[in-house]
Structure 1
Amino acid sequence: MEVLLRASVPSLNITTATTNNKTHLTKPRFSNFQLSEGRIDQWGRLQCVYHGWCFDGSGQCKIIPQAPQDGPPVHSNKKACVASYPTVVHHDILWFWPNSDPQYKDILTKEKPPFIPELDDPSFTKLMGNREIPYGYEVLIENLMDPAHVPYAHHGIMQMRQPKEKVDREGGKPLNMTVEKLDKDGFIGKQEGGRAKFMPPSMFYVYFDQGTETKNSSTKQRRLALIFICVPVSPGNSRLIWVFPRNFGLWIDKVVPRWYFHIGQNLILDSDLYLLHLEERKIKEVGNWQKACYVPTKSDAFVVAFRRWLNKYAGGQVDWRGKFTRDLPPTPPREQLLDRYWSHVVNCSSCSVAYKCLNVLEVVLQVVSVVSIGIVAATKQSLMSTAARTAIVSVAVLCFVASRFLAQFVNKYFRYHDYDHAFK
Structure 2
Amino acid sequence: MRLRKVFCTTKQLGLVTYCIPISPGKSRIIAQFPRNLAKTLHRFTPRWWNHITERNLVLDGDMVLLQQQEYLLQQRQSLGSWKTAYKMPTSADRLVIEFRQWFDKYAQGKLPWDKVGINALGYTKINPNREEVLNRYKQHTQHCSSCRGALKNIQNLQLFLLAYFVVVVTIVALIPDASRVQIGIPLAISALLGLGIYAILKLWLEPKFYFIDYIHAEK
Please tell me the TM-score bracket, short chain as reference. 0.7 to 0.9
Q: Does 1:407 align with 2:196?
A: no
Q: Does 1:337 align with 2:126?
A: no
Q: 5+ unaligned residues in a row in structure 1: which ranges?
A: 1-203, 213-220
Q: Secondary structure at the match of 2:136?
A: coil
Q: Secondary structure at the match of 1:366?
A: helix
Q: Does 1:396 align with 2:186?
A: no
Q: Secondary structure at the match of 1:416?
A: coil
**Cα distance between partner residues in 1 of 2:193 and 2:144:** 31
CA RMSD of aligned residues (A): 2.4
Q: 1:306 Cα deviation (Å)?
A: 3.1
Residue by residue over 1:133-190, the C-alpha shift from the partner in whole angstroms, topping out at 9 and shown as x without a partner, is: xxxxxxxxxxxxxxxxxxxxxxxxxxxxxxxxxxxxxxxxxxxxxxxxxxxxxxxxxx
**Cα distance between partner residues in 2 of 1:243 and 1:313:** 28
Asked if the contact 1:236/1:329 (under 8 Å) is kept, the reply is yes
Which residue of the partner structure matches residue 280 of structure 1? 70
Which residue of the partner structure matches residue 110 of structure 2? 317
Q: 1:423 to 1:254 in 2, by over 3 A?
A: closer
Provide TM-score, normalisation by structure 2.
Answer: 0.84
Asked if the contact 2:134/2:211 (under 8 Å) is kept, the reply is yes
1:35-184 counterparts in 2 under 5 A?
none
Q: 1:247 Cα deviation (Å)?
A: 2.4
Q: Secondary structure at the match of 2:13?
A: strand
Q: 1:373 Cα deviation (Å)?
A: 1.4
Q: 1:422 to 1:292 in 2, by over 3 A?
A: farther
Which of 83, 101, 120 does residue 326 from structure 1 map onto?
120
Q: Secondary structure at the match of 1:248?
A: coil
| Paired-residue identity, % | 33
Which of 205, 210, 217 does residue 2 from structure 2 map onto?
205
Q: 1:309 to 1:372 in 2, by over 3 A?
A: same
RCO higher in structure (CA 8 A, sep ≥6) = 2
Q: 5+ unaligned residues in a row in structure 2: which ranges?
A: none
Which residue of the partner structure matches residue 158 of structure 2? 362
Which residue of the partner structure matches residue 147 of structure 2? 351
Q: Does 1:381 align with 2:171?
A: no
**Cα distance between partner residues in 2 of 1:409 and 1:299:** 41
Provide TM-score, normalisation by structure 1.
Answer: 0.46
Q: 1:274 Cα deviation (Å)?
A: 0.9
Residue by residue over 1:327-358, the C-alpha shift from the partner in whole angstroms, topping out at 9 and shown as x without a partner, is: 22552721121111221122212111111111
Q: Secondary structure at the match of 2:119?
A: coil
Which residue of the partner structure matches residue 46 of structure 2? 257
Greater strand fraction, Structure 1 or Structure 2: 1
Which residue of the partner structure matches residue 268 of structure 1? 58
Q: Secondary structure at the match of 2:37?
A: coil
Q: 1:298 Cα deviation (Å)?
A: 4.9
Greater helix fraction, Structure 1 or Structure 2: 2
